[in-house]
Structure 1
Amino acid sequence: MSALGEVLVGLAIAVGLVGIVVQILPGNALTFTAILIWAWMTGGTAAWVCFAVAALAIGLAELGQWLLAGRHMRRAEVPWGVLAVGGLAGVVGFFVVPVVGLFLFFTAAVMILEYLRRRDARAAWRATVAALQAMAITIGVQLLGGLVAAGAWVVGLLVT
């Protein structure tokens, strides 16, 4: 692969990592695709081994985020429907108030829905905090997987 191609792959990986934190871009999907294209264009055993490591890291991160965040939400007794509505509100909020609107609208939507469901402000706030913690778990696990994948790509660059 040419130097320009490798720079573009690196930029795509960087955008993917930012997408994980911002939660508006499919960060790990972008990272996975960029590394796949690099391995395809570079060819050879080393490139494909690096891709396999990256794919495994991303796959484990995607699975881990669902298991860990899901367990956290079950313990807090917050239904997935509340999170889904909160997520949609967060996406709308991202465009209404760029970047911070995602977290503000997500938090407000979960708080309102949990208050309507539980009719207790303290319980609704505890559920909202649990939802925010689950979101942080999701971001952290995805970011760890994305960083391991990016590291595998860097090793691949050095080896090939």
Structure 2
Amino acid sequence: MGAWGLLLVGLVIGLGLYGVLVPGVPGSWLVWAAVLWWALQDPQPVAWWVLVGATVLLFLSQVVRWALPPRRLRAGGVTHRTAVYAGAGAFLGFLLVPVVGAIPGFIGGVYLSERLRLGRHGEARAALRTAMRSGGSSVLAELFTCLLIAAAWLGAVLWG
């Protein structure tokens, strides 16, 4: 696969990561479809292993999401700005502390957004708890899975 094809796959994966944070967009399925397209265009063993791993991870993610409370983010007072801060925090955390940093980054992003909006620590902490209970944990599970898949794809492209 050429550079333009890889760039397009990367853009679709990025759109999928953004789609996880936006209600109504099938973000995780966009990530999986991009990896599938890449594996079909670049039939090397590493591409197929990344596709199999992505499929297993997404299946497990769906099982975990099914066990978590349903998404009622808007009812919990979660705004688009909060979702952007949470996604940016998870992405930065994933890069700064590989893999496990996404979880505190996501939570820190939600807290920062609520702290800026509400102004006080206690109120921001209460809003963070409400956001995580109203579906934030479900979003975090899906976003974490998609970040793992994106990292595996990027690692396979760069070193595979």
Query: Alpha-carbon deviation of 1:147?
Result: 0.7
Query: Alpha-carbon deviation of 1:37?
Result: 0.2
**Is the counterpart of residue 16 in structure 1 residue 3 in structure 2?**
no
**Which residue of the partner structure matches residue 2 of structure 1?**
2
TM-score normalised to structure 1 length = 0.61
Instruction: Could you list the structure 1 runs, at least 4 aligned residues long, displaced by more than 4 angstroms after superposition.
Output: 129-132
Task: Say how many residue pairs are matched.
Answer: 112
Q: Give the alignment of 1:1-160 within 5 angstroms.
A: 1-69=1-69, 99=80, 133-160=133-160
**Which residue of the partner structure matches residue 109 of structure 2?**
none
Structure 1 Cα separation of the partners of residues 50 and 155 of structure 2: 7
Of structures 1 and 2, the larger Rg is shown by 1
Give 3-state SS (helix, strand or coil) of 1:148's partner: helix
Structure 1: state its 5+ residue gaps: 71-82, 91-97, 103-128
Instruction: Please tell me the residue identity of whatever aligns with 1:153.
Output: W
Give 3-state SS (helix, strand or coil) of 2:69's partner: helix
Give 3-state SS (helix, strand or coil) of 1:24's partner: coil
Instruction: Please tell me the residue identity of whatever aligns with 1:6.
Output: L
Query: Alpha-carbon deviation of 1:99?
Result: 3.8
Give 3-state SS (helix, strand or coil) of 2:25's partner: coil
Distance 1:135 1:3, change over 3 A: same
Give 3-state SS (helix, strand or coil) of 1:69's partner: coil
Paired-residue identity, %: 29
More helix by share: 1
CA RMSD in angstroms, aligned pairs only: 2.7
TM-score normalised to structure 2 length = 0.61
- C-alpha contact (below 8 Å) 1:61/1:141 kept by paired residues: yes
Query: Alpha-carbon deviation of 1:58?
Result: 1.5
Structure 2 Cα separation of the partners of residues 131 and 18 of structure 1: 18
Structure 2: state its 5+ residue gaps: 84-128
